[in-house]
């Protein structure tokens, strides 16, 4: 049987199965079996536990292998029998945190669904994981959506997308952004299928942190994603106004892409794309670089193709993006561990580092971030990098959004010695999901942690249900108010003490 005939036979078989199970196209399965749901590609069999229906490892696209490597995601060919959806799928190829060798599998374009076990139609929250576009997976324990689904009455979706060179390479005749195309394909899957899981395809909130937050901003900036979401939350998403752009003489992603092509031995060959498709995935993972908060890797979203024709910030600020509610923020000490990782001896050493990073702006930056005001030169450097990279771009995006927007600064810290690094990058994620057992450094959650998590779960859930994070949280336009999140959340008008305006005047932030 030819491949085409085999695929047709599978689809016909799936159609017959759907008819037998009472309908296709994202409809629910038999009324007496809440664990069985039909999707466009076939039925999936999950489980029910503590009032939540869970479905794991559902394919939303065909495996991106062979001719589909470095190509837009293709529809999955489907399956005949109900597909067991009880275990997470592998993450996409990467070098995971703390690992020495690559892991993951190219057959990784899957998503997971947690839904309340009832007959109502619920808002949907779609999560995009972080990891610098080179690592991370939807299966991380902190992203478990059961608590949000059960407590907030939402359907939670988490997904994998292609990482590293496999997801973002811009070279050899391809413009990159395959990871972003994966994310859009997953949103299209949600629109077509989520009703069968009790989700409302007309109420979809995007949320993500770090590279996931940047992904949300890119989706706001991509015309191809219009109509697939209705609200957005950007957590520590960085600067959406200065992504690498094709043809940029200072930061052309095709230049770094060419280095990756050369590193795997595919430069100078007659058909470099065919060569790249034959290279072992592990070699491409290694060539794409590892995650380093201080030294961004050479892969990620690029501006200048049909997917991202302009900087996301520019599209949002111009009112060209869909006018949807926006919640955006960052953490108070994003680079909290930096003084320990990169000790700075004294003010002279700090000035030298600033000169290497910012050239002639070193002197005004030293005046703006004097070591005496931040507890030392290392802490001053950490404050500068945190505000320049995350805090100030978040506030600028909230101010630029034409629709009502809300902003936050996560200022809660861990108890005891674990709190020495402050509210560092990604600390807020377990609080948002209510998965405090996944707090970093094995910290046992305290009553204060539970209190902060309850506040965030309520605010994020309200935002998904109502388009606003709740009473007592003023919109950002009302005097630039920012909700400082701690055990006593407080709306503040000047969380950055005016430094963001100074950085903007120096041309370092929007």
| pLDDT tens readout for residues 326-337 | 999 999 999 999
Question: What average pLDDT does the segment 143-153 reach?
Answer: 98
Q: Which residues contact 97 (CB under 8 A, 6 or more apart)?
A: 135, 291
Residue 2's pLDDT band, with cuts at 50, 70 and 90, is very low
Is 334 an annotated catalytic residue? Answer: yes
Q: How far apart are CA 78 and CA 183, in angstroms?
A: 19
Percentage of the chain lying above the pLDDT 70 cut? 92
Question: What average pLDDT does the segment 89-94 reach?
Answer: 98
Write the pLDDT tens digit of every residue in 444-494: 999 999 999 999 999 999 999 999 999 889 999 877 899 999 999 999 989
Question: What average pLDDT does the segment 401-416 reach?
Answer: 95
Q: Between 477 and 230, where is the model more confident?
A: 230
Catalytic residue among 138, 139, 210, 236: 210
For residues 170 and 246, the answer to whether their CB atoms sit within 8 Å is: yes
For the chain, the C-alpha Rg in angstroms (whole number) is 23
Task: Assess whether pLDDT exceeds 50 at residue 10.
Answer: no
User: What's the pLDDT at 17?
Assistant: 38
**How crowded is residue 480: how many other Cβ atoms within 10 Å of its Cβ?**
17
Nearest partner of 394 among 458, 459, 316, judged by Cα? 316
Task: Assess whether pLDDT exceeds 50 at residue 90.
Answer: yes
Q: Which residues contact 264 (CB under 8 A, 6 or more apart)?
A: 275, 276, 279, 283, 284, 287
CATH class label, 3-288: alpha beta
Task: Assess whether pLDDT exceeds 90 at residue 175.
Answer: no
Beta pairing, strands 122-128 & 199-209? parallel
Residue 100's pLDDT band, with cuts at 50, 70 and 90, is confident
Is 425 an annotated catalytic residue? Answer: yes
End-to-end CA distance of the chain: 58
For residues 469 and 327, the answer to whether their CB atoms sit within 8 Å is: yes
Residue 13's pLDDT band, with cuts at 50, 70 and 90, is very low
For residues 203 and 124, the answer to whether their CB atoms sit within 8 Å is: yes
Question: What average pLDDT does the segment 5-16 reach?
Answer: 38
Task: Assess whether pLDDT exceeds 90 at residue 15.
Answer: no
Q: Which residues contact 497 (CB under 8 A, 6 or more apart)?
A: none
CA-to-CA dists, residue 334 to 194, 383, 422, 506, angstroms? 35, 8, 8, 21
For the chain, the residue count is 510
For residues 231 and 206, the answer to whether their CB atoms sit within 8 Å is: yes
Catalytic residue among 334, 387, 428, 502: 334
Task: Assess whether pLDDT exceeds 50 at residue 14.
Answer: no
User: What's the pLDDT at 293?
Assistant: 58
Percentage of the chain lying above the pLDDT 90 cut? 85
Of 14-18, 188-192, 347-351, 425-429, the range with the lowest mean pLDDT is 14-18
For residues 190 and 58, the answer to whether their CB atoms sit within 8 Å is: no
Q: Domain segments of the chain: what residues?
A: 3-288, 336-505
Is 421 an annotated catalytic residue? Answer: no
To the nearest 10°, report the CA torsion of 397, 400, 403, 405: 40
**Average pLDDT along the chain:** 92
Catalytic residue among 425, 453, 476, 486: 425
User: What's the pLDDT at 5?
Assistant: 39
User: What's the pLDDT at 16?
Assistant: 39
Residue 296's pLDDT band, with cuts at 50, 70 and 90, is low
Q: Which residues contact 337 (CB under 8 A, 6 or more apart)?
A: 421, 424
Q: Which residues contact 2 (CB under 8 A, 6 or more apart)?
A: none
For residues 396 and 415, the answer to whether their CB atoms sit within 8 Å is: no
Say which residue the tokens 């190829």 belong to. 93
Residue 31's pLDDT band, with cuts at 50, 70 and 90, is low
Residue 7's pLDDT band, with cuts at 50, 70 and 90, is very low
Residue 411's pLDDT band, with cuts at 50, 70 and 90, is very high
Of 98-102, 356-360, 496-500, the range with the lowest mean pLDDT is 98-102
Q: Which residues contact 298 (CB under 8 A, 6 or more apart)?
A: 253, 256, 257, 259, 260, 288, 289
């Amino acid at each position: 049987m030819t491949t085409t005939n085999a695929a047709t036979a599978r689809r016909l078989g799936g159609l017959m199965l759907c008819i037998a199970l009472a309908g296709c196209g994202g409809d629910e399965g038999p009324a007496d079996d809440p664990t069985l749901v039909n999707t466009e590609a076939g039925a999936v069999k999950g489980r029910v536990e503590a009032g939540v229906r869970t479905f794991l490892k559902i394919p939303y696209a065909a495996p991106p292998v062979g001719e589909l490597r470095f190509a837009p995601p293709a529809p999955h060919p489907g399956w005949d029998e109900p597909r067991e959806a009880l275990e997470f799928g592998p993450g996409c190829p990467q070098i995971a945190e703390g690992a020495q060798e690559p892991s993951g599998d190219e057959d990784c374009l899957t998503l997971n669904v947690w839904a309340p076990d009832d007959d109502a139609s619920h808002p949907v929250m779609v999560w995009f994981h972080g990891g610098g576009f080179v690592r991370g997976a939807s299966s991380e324990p902190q992203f478990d959506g059961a608590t949000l689904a059960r407590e907030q009455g939402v359907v939670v979706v988490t997904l994998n997308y292609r990482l590293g060179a496999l997801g973002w390479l811009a070279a050899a005749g391809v413009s990159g952004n395959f990871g972003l195309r994966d994310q859009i394909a997953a949103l299209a899957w949600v629109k077509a299928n989520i009703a069968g899981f009790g989700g409302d395809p007309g109420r979809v909130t995007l949320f993500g942190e770090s590279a996931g937050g940047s992904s949300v901003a890119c989706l706001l900036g991509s015309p191809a994603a219009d109509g697939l979401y209705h609200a957005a939350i950007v957590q520590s998403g960085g600067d959406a106004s200065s992504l690498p752009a094709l043809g940029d003489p200072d930061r052309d992603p095709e230049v770094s892409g060419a280095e990756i092509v050369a590193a795997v031995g595919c430069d100078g060959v007659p058909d470099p794309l065919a060569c790249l498709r034959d290279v072992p995935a592990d070699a491409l993972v290694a060539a794409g670089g590892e995650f380093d908060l201080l030294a961004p890797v050479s892969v990620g979203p690029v501006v200048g193709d049909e997917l991202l024709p302009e900087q996301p910030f520019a599209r949002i600020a111009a009112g060209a993006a869909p006018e949807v509610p926006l919640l955006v923020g960052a953490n108070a000490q994003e680079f909290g561990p930096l003084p320990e990782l990169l000790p700075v001896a004294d003010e002279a050493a700090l000035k030298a580092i600033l000169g290497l990073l910012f050239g002639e702006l070193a002197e005004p930056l030293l005046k703006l971030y004097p070591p005496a005001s931040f507890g030392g030169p290392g802490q001053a450097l950490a404050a500068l990098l945190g505000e320049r990279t995350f805090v100030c771009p978040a506030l600028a995006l909230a101010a630029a959004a034409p629709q009502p927007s809300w902003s936050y600064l996560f200022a809660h810290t861990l108890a005891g010695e674990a709190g020495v690094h402050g509210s560092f990058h990604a600390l807020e994620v377990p609080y948002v999901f209510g998965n405090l057992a996944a707090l970093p450094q094995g910290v046992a959650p305290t009553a204060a942690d539970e209190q902060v998590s309850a506040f965030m779960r309520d605010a994020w859930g309200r935002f998904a249900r109502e388009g606003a994070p709740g009473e007592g949280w003023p919109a950002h336009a009302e005097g630039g108010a920012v909700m400082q999140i701690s055990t006593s959340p407080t709306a503040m008008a000047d969380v950055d003490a005016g430094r963001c305006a100074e950085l903007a005047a120096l041309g370092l932030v929007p």
